[in-house]
Amino acid sequence: MRLSSLADYAVVMMSAAARHCGSIRLNATLLADETGLPLPTVQKLVSKLSGAGLIESTRGTGGGFRLSRPPAAISLADIVEAIEGPIAMTSCVDTGKHDCAVEGSCRVKPHMGTVNGAVRGALAGVTLAQLSAQAPVPAVAEHA
Amino acid sequence: MRLSSLADYAVVMMSAAARHCGSIRLNATLLADETGLPLPTVQKLVSKLSGAGLIESTRGTGGGFRLSRPPAAISLADIVEAIEGPIAMTSCVDTGKHDCAVEGSCRVKPHMGTVNGAVRGALAGVTLAQLSAQAPVPAVAEHA
DNA sequence: GGCAATCGGATTAAATTGATCTGATTGAGA
DNA sequence: TCTCAATCAGATCAATTTAATCCGATTGCC
């Protein structure tokens, strides 16, 4: 019930990338230096995000990458799915996996679909544009 | 972004237990046989759920356990938290963990709190009573 | 044509998780 | 009263997944 560290890192990295909206060339080294994340980790994330189509990367000396869509069109769900794969709370939700012992008479499965949709909706409701905004959050009291 | 198998099993197990609302004595062997889950796994779950206060267990020959609250008063969030600990999408949300590299200027954290709340709300909205209902789901088309 | 810089995939080590085993506890029966 | 059987509880061990590192392929510049 916790998204992986890599997905977490990816969100931080993409958020930092969104702040460089104007500059064309971004590279892994720059973002690693900026976010404090290890360079190899950032490189790995670049590979995955590029494969998912969220960023467009070019190799070579003058290479680098940039967001393939404007920040407002990239949601947390996109990033999480790019790193972790489809959002599915239980393996039941994925089609084709049927190792559940009570497959036939499982009452839990349909409700999990509902929960799953709620989770995905919550993630899809937050865009990179919101994350890269300066400081729109008015002193959240958190879970005091 | 997927809850652990143990938490999944716990939901199935508690759902099966809720269907035995009338009978006082439940034991791990019975539920293992009924759900098809391995007996040691069910025993482990019983320990955790008992520790969390969701079930009341007694040892000895005539021992066993029962739900400490009515099924309508036990939600998925309760079960998941009993097995996995506090629901927190990122370690940022847990108080006291500050190994994030961009702690000071992190724009992601407050939004994660929102997402986290949405997830927990979705889990808290489903009770054991709903899960143990016979078949209220009218032929879900799923993700065809 | 050589060189430097970048992404891409593969390998290795660590951590978390899941399953098994053994021990402590309790009640029933002789 | 004592022994035995049945149960939960905790600890141990193996497996899977995950995260970090390393090396190779590709490309533009000099």
Chain D: nucleotides below 7 Å from protein CB are: 5-11, 18-22, 25-29
Burial A5-25 (b: 16+ CB within 10 A, else e): eebbbbbbbbbbbbbbeeeee
Burial of A76 (0-12, 13-18, 19+ CB in 10 A): buried
* Interface contact B126-A137, CB threshold 8 A: no
Residues of A in contact with B137 (CB under 8 A): 110
Measured CA A15 to C1' C27 distance, in angstroms: 62
User: How much is the average pLDDT of B20-34?
Assistant: 82
User: How much is the average pLDDT of B46-57?
Assistant: 92
pTM above 0.75, yes or no: yes
Q: Which of residues 84-113 of A touch B (CB under 8 A)?
A: 84, 87-92, 95, 100-102, 106-108, 110-111, 113
pLDDT of amino acid A19: 85
pLDDT of amino acid A143: 41
Q: What average pLDDT does the structure give for chain A?
A: 81
User: How much is the average pLDDT of A49-57?
Assistant: 92
**Domain segments of chain A as ranges:** 5-131
Q: Does B144 lie at the interface with A, CB-CB under 8 angstroms?
A: no
pLDDT above 60 (res B104): no
Minimum CA–C1' distance nucleotide for A8: D19
* Interface contact B133-A80, CB threshold 8 A: no
pLDDT tens digits, one per residue of B59-91: 888 888 999 999 999 999 999 999 998 888 876
pLDDT of amino acid A119: 86
pLDDT of amino acid A87: 85
DSSP secondary structure string, chain A? ----HHHHHHHHHHHHHHHT-S-S-B-HHHHHHHH---HHHHHHHHHHHHHHTSEEEE-STT-EEEESS-GGG-BHHHHHHHHH-S--SSTTTSTT----TT-TT-SHHHHHHHHHHHHHHHHHT-BHHHHTSS----------
Q: Which of residues 38-57 of A touch B (CB under 8 A)?
A: none
* Interface contact B102-A35, CB threshold 8 A: yes
pLDDT above 60 (res B95): no
Residues of B in contact with A91 (CB under 8 A): 2, 5, 8
Helices A5-19 and B108-124: crossing angle in degrees, nearest 10, is 140
Residues of B in contact with A5 (CB under 8 A): 91
pLDDT above 80 (res B129): yes
Residue type, B80: V
C-alpha separations of A111 from A4, A121, B12, B140, B141 in Å: 24, 15, 12, 11, 13
Backbone angles phi, psi at A58, to 5 degrees: -130, 140
pLDDT tens digits, one per residue of A85-102: 888 887 665 544 445 555
Does the nearest atom of strand C lie within 7 Å of A53's Cβ?
no
pLDDT tens digits, one per residue of A59-85: 888 888 999 999 999 999 999 999 998
CATH class of the domain comprising A5-131: mainly alpha
